[in-house]
Amino acid sequence: MIKVGDLLARKGDPLQLELLTADVGLDREIKSPEASSPGLVLAGYTARFVGTDRIHILGETEITYLTSLDAKARRKSVETFLSYALPCVIITKAQEAPDELLAVAREKGIPIIRTRLKTAEFYRRLKPFLDDAFAPRTTVHGSLADVFGVGLLFRGRSGIGKSECVLDLVERGHRLVADDVVHVTRQGNDVLIGRGHEISRHYMEIRGVGLIDINALFGIRSVRQQKRIEVVVQLEDWDNSREYDRTGLDLQETELLDVALPLVTVPLNPGKNLTVICEVVAMNHLLRYSGVDSAHAFNERLIRRMREKGELQHYLEEDYE
């Protein structure tokens, strides 16, 4: 949830917001990512009114209706509407707020805000902010890089080489999103967006060297503010007792914020060119996304060849001439 004061502080300029009731109710909480208009509540029908947890918007239709009433009826309509514990009310198109609305709002402690934007445009701009503010989120230990346009989230134990791997990728022309701490937000049902902490963003900690500023060292093209997470790369110490996937036929997955992501486990041993492997992981993901699965294509080719050889062997065995 967010407070009305946070909405004004963060989106006051982009949404062209103007507070009409001084500092009244700025600590009220907006508890829903939805925004709606009061509808028939202004006419006195409250049986199906819901949404006391959300922002309510008065467009030209609602304000025109209120101004069409006489002062007594307008006061009654406003009192009915504001009898609910609304977080705030926003008037669009820079319309004048009826005096009764402002007076009752001050009595109830409900902030009245005005915007110069048209109603449809205001909804369009407000919705992404509310969706992001109420989106499920978490923080993971790892590094996030944009490799050939694919968001690779590197995970593994502390000191295994996640930062060094991403640094090598940056040196090869790829882009850093976040190192060590990745803030992850879910948008919609299946999109995960990762970004760095606002203080440590685009800084990396390299053991033996210290903190380095990737933006200053490699330029603005080496960093980006956020990136969709598409593949998780799990870095592990090589374990001789474990069987690692060598074909890619059985795809692994992991879940983050209830979203399934492809998982590639890369065992590390001396001499392995991890950077090139990660580039191949990204390119292979793009290839799969375009409908080409190398592992399954090779498997089908192998099965077809075995079938052809079997048919040839059967033919030779049946040839008695």
Catalytic residue (one of 180, 195, 288, 293): 180
Catalytic residue (one of 23, 242, 246, 250): 246
Annotated active-site residue 202? The verdict is: no
Q: How far apart are CA 73 and CA 269, in angstroms?
A: 79
Beta carbons of 139 and 182 less than 8 angstroms apart: yes
Catalytic residue (one of 10, 31, 127, 141): 141
Annotated active-site residue 180? The verdict is: yes
264: how many CB neighbours lie within 10 A of its CB? 22
Q: Which helix (H) or strand (E) holds 90?
A: strand 89-91
Q: Which residues pair with 256 in a beta bridge?
A: 259
**CA distances, 160 to each of 65, 166, 201 (Å):** 66, 12, 21
Q: Which residues pair with 252 in a beta bridge?
A: 263
Annotated active-site residue 13? The verdict is: no
Q: Which helix (H) or strand (E) holds 156?
A: strand 150-156
Sequential DSSP letters for 26-89: TTPEE--S-EE--GGGGGT--TT---TTSEEEE-HHHHHHHHHS-HHHHHHHHHHHTTS--S-E
Q: Which helix (H) or strand (E) holds 103?
A: helix 99-108
225 secondary structure, DSSP code? S
Annotated active-site residue 237? The verdict is: no
Catalytic residue (one of 162, 201, 224, 285): 162
Catalytic residues: 141, 162, 180, 246
